[in-house]
Structure 1
């Protein structure tokens, strides 16, 4: 027996009925947005039936063809309990109205947006944008709230590059909002409790909440919020506790106050490969490239297909090792002019897994930071050796021992391929002069300024 005039989610294994399409639409938007391999088929009309591989394409179609279903006023309806004749299952659910924001776009705007959306080329990589899933009621506690709030602050800091003072302002505003809600609850519930105590003695009920318990919960939430932003030290400790954050390791240079910082490549790759989607994407792209090279050996798709890889100590024995390449460049923290333009330059070293698909490697989220040091310190050869010695040791360890991912129960092998950079950075790494006033623009092809 089926329920008429109710909507069911195609993406849920056990879908509950939704009393309005607005409720189903909001369910898909908030629960399934960002999931990989999403296939949504529109079955709202006789002429529909198109399958969409992204929520953006599905949303554009709904707003264009079925806007009337989103604007239908919904009411609280109760799905009556019924017994299925086939499996004798009882369903007792209450459909609650959710206010759906109205879309006031014109027909021309909707047509333009839909034409710009290509559902097949729309790429959503949830592996680099992990969301906190909704948890069951048995694990909702203050520790989970603290973890959720730390994740929220990380998204603000890292995703939107908000400074610490803005984060603290947001925290103060949220704390004031919670205190306001707390006072409002006390104000609204106190007259009801007084009236109930004067009339009759109500039987014990689980719906009655003591104000002392409410006070304790709100005060505990406030303490967690304040603790998360009460200084950088406390925030980093919470990141270590919940998200396996590892602070940069200092490298003491020749000068007493000269310090460089290093982020272990092994730890960064381990955090990345813990996500099954990343591993699947890496191996799938690696097999695709190898198959293309097998079909046409004259083409070189990456470093492992070149002649140098045959002499590589790792690739010569294990051609399927994942490739790691490094990139170095100098960045200026300020923008001065004239003779002081190089005083605040920082030398940065980054890494990237070369076997990631091109669409992922072109994003900033696929690039990991390895080391950073004041460029002036590296002008001393001893400091330069100390800074890159620990990077070389980490790379050799990865190439020799590989990396075991316990969550996947799999061993990965790695091979260092190339260190790249601009002209200045490459000259610096090779020990050459960083100026080009000798009459030649390039030390490789000996291209002179007169030939420009």
Structure 2
């Protein structure tokens, strides 16, 4: 039996047919930036394709017969012959999945499904004019010929492009899936067909018996009715769609957090439990093996070279962490839902909180699949310390539970430890309880230097560094002050104060991009340009 291996997967997965491998590539690898596929179906091929579109076009032009083969059979009044495929494709509607299909389902569950659905009004229906295939015809007549079907489908594509403004690549995805759905339907009907013997006649020979397959028309109609009802019920409203995503793709619905008090204008935020996301990720055993091997490799390397630092466990404050625990890192950033100008530019900003496993191998760390959403709220609500604490409290409770009890997945007990909160300077000061103004007073969260002293040539040995004990004392004095007057750049207690392993002095690393690219790098570049000008290498002038 021929075997087809996916060259993109790290595990070199095998498929019994090219149709299954092509379907796998279509679902899981079509949007990868480093897509590379070489066609080796025939000796005349061997061309390397660096885009999925080019590879798909080649397959459909040159190797369509490899995807499925058809045999023309004669129809009668009571039965409809079904063409037998060379390789049975993987049915998405089947419940008896094979081991390979189960792995596919687990891999697909790790994707960011939360970006596909939104928990708003569950009773909001879809536009019937778009979903109803028969409503696109102008005269309302039944489609009785292939010409009518082609005309109706082209009109459907025009409606998607002109009215719904869908781009060409999205329309191509829709067409590809319709073809895949028809292929799956053909395979399903083949399993319900029965064998019968028919006599065939030719001009040069006598009659001979042939084995064929057929299916009763009533059974065919019943199958089509089941598929049509399943599609209509799944897309009837948002509630049914979310339930189907939870059933088939392990989708986790966000939990609502009430930020406003009684009598105030309702304000809400949303939170996704971290342990559910971790369960989906670590349920894939090859990923767990890669993470553990990466930890072991880093620990071995640092033993031979003390100057290397791969994570916080290799630093001064890493001694408090268990060496066999997985590090959880939070990431905080604001996004703008609109692009206004002037004073309205911050009115529609949302604060997004993500988490990632810090021990993920380097080749996977920057991929979107391994940066998971935790919470979302309006940015302006976090400026209120009470609402900020209400927003962060479920996240704190979730992380503390993971650090105290861990997770048992596939019989393996995984331990977790919180590492750091990665953010820009503004967001770091917000969650750390520091001043949000950087052009006066004590603007640094690492030391007590003032804004007036920042350009003075002061030796580092003379700059007083912030310590955990000094910060805790300042916070205590502020909390006991009825006026809550800021002290030495500290304005309040951090909303993450109850998080195990977090402290504003050691858990908020520097903003390297802004500090170096916008801070140190311009000064260095300017000094280099001035030195080059003094040496008569270049000239510069002001207009």
TM-score bracket relative to the smaller structure: 0.5 to 0.7
Q: Please state whether the residue corresponding to 1:376 is helix, strand or coil.
A: helix
Give the 5 Å matches for 1:91-240: 96=86, 139=96, 158=115, 171-173=131-133, 207-240=213-246
Q: Any unmatched runs of 5+ in structure 2?
A: 6-11, 48-60, 72-83, 119-123, 147-210, 456-522, 524-543
Task: Give the SS at the match of 1:385.
Answer: helix
Q: Distance in 1 between matches of 2:14 and 2:439?
A: 71
> Secondary structure, in 3 states, of the residue corresponding to 1:209?
strand
Which residue, 341, 347, 353 being the options, matches 1:343?
347
SS in 1 for 2:39: helix
- Tell whether the 8 Å contact from 2:125 to 2:236 is kept in structure 1 after alignment: no
Check 1:57–1:238 CA distance in 2 against 1; reply closer, same or farther (3 A cut). Answer: closer
Deviation at 1:210, TM superposition (A): 3.1
- Report the equivalent of 1:399: 403
Q: Any conservation in 1 of the 2:126–2:235 contact (CA below 8 Å)? A: no
Pair 1:73–1:411, CA change in 2 (3 A)? closer
Q: Among residues 411, 414, 419, which one is paired with 2:413 in the alignment?
A: 411
Query: Aligned residue for 2:493?
Result: none
State the secondary structure of the residue aligned to 2:215: coil
Aligned to 1:331: 335
Superposition deviation, residue 240 in structure 1: 1.7
Over 3 Å counting, the alpha-carbon distance change for 1:173 and 1:397 in structure 2 is same
Task: After TM superposition, list the pairs within 5 Å mapping 1:279-428 onto structure 2.
Answer: 279-310=288-319, 312=320, 315=321, 318-405=322-409, 408-428=410-430
Aligned equivalent of 1:260, options 233, 252, 269 = 269
For the 8 Å contact 1:325–1:353, the answer to whether it is kept is yes
In structure 1, runs of 5+ residues without a counterpart are 1-6, 17-23, 37-53, 79-93, 99-131, 186-204
> Does residue 56 of structure 1 match 2:29?
no
Q: CA deviation at 1:135?
A: 7.3
* Cα distance in 1, alignment partners of residues 394 and 14 from structure 2: 52
Partner of residue 431, structure 2: 429
Report the 3-state secondary structure (helix = DSSP H, G, I; strand = E; otherwise coil) of the residue aligned with 2:36.
helix
Judged with a 3 Å threshold, the aligned counterparts in structure 2 of structure 1 residues 35 and 291 are, in CA distance, closer, same or farther, namely farther
Across the aligned residues of Structure 1 and Structure 2, the Cα RMSD in angstroms comes to 4.9
CA offsets 1:138-164 (integer angstroms, 9 cap, x no match): 849xxx9xxx9xx89x99995899xx9
Asked whether the equivalents of residues 442 and 450 of structure 2 are also in contact (C-alpha less than 8 Å), the reply is yes
Check the 8 A contact 1:156/1:167 in 2, yes or no: no
Q: Within 2, Cα distance between the matches of 1:290 and 1:174? A: 63
Q: Secondary structure at the match of 1:255?
A: coil
Q: Is the 8 A contact 1:74 1:97 kept in 2?
A: no
Distance 1:10 1:355, change over 3 A: same
Deviation at 1:134, TM superposition (A): 5.0
Name the CA distance, whole Å, in 1 between partners of 2:269 and 2:376: 6
Offset at residue 403 of structure 1 (A): 0.4
DSSP 3-state at the match of 1:424 = helix
The structure whose Rg is larger is: 2
- Structure 1's 231 and 339: CA in aligned 2 closer, same or farther, altered over 3 A? same
Give CA deviations for 1:214-235 in whole Å, capped at 9, x if unaligned.
2222222112112222221110
Q: 2: distance between equivalents of 1:281 and 1:240? A: 27
Q: Whole-Å Cα distance in 2 between the matches of residues 396 and 174 of structure 1?
A: 54
Shift in Å, 1:29: 3.9
